[in-house]
Amino acid sequence: MTTCQDDDLRLVLRGLLTTIGDKWTLVVVAALVDGAQRFTGIQRRVDGISHRMLTKTLRDLEHDGLVSREVHAEVPPRVEYALTPLGRTLLDPVDGLIRWVDEHGRTVLRNRAAH
């Protein structure tokens, strides 16, 4: 386990983990793996996310520099979201989580169903 000695950095790290680990952030990042998507395309890939929550999640990711928002000058204007180079670095750790779910997901669901 990576540890972090510096107390300030620990606080920063914990704050970021709770952001990245936010309910929808990881699945929205994963939904952008294949390239730029329109809002409705992301919403289709991320089952169960509300319009409001996807708007908020994308805005937060944009502010963090992880997602770019491009408005194409068409009528009507086409708006596309894509991972920035920084955002793409997040794919590896996210993929680690997805592989974990792939390997252990069924066990977790069985445990959960027993309660």
**Interacting residues with a second copy (CB under 8 A):** 1-2, 4, 9, 11-14, 16-18, 20-27, 30, 33, 46-48, 63-66, 86, 89-93, 95-109, 111-112, 115
For residue 8, the minimal CB distance to a second copy (Å) is 11
Task: Considering the complex, state which of residue 75 and residue 115 has its C-beta at the smaller distance from a second copy.
Answer: 115
CB of residue 103 vs a second copy: minimum separation in angstroms? 8
Answer whether 82's CB lies under 8 Å from 36's CB: yes
Nearer to a second copy, 40 or 111 (CB): 111
| Distance, CA of 93 to CA of 30 (rounded, Å) | 11
Pick between residue 13 and residue 40 the one whose CB is nearest to a second copy: 13
Cβ pair 94, 26 in contact under 8 A = yes
Considering the complex, state which of residue 70 and residue 96 has its C-beta at the smaller distance from a second copy: 96
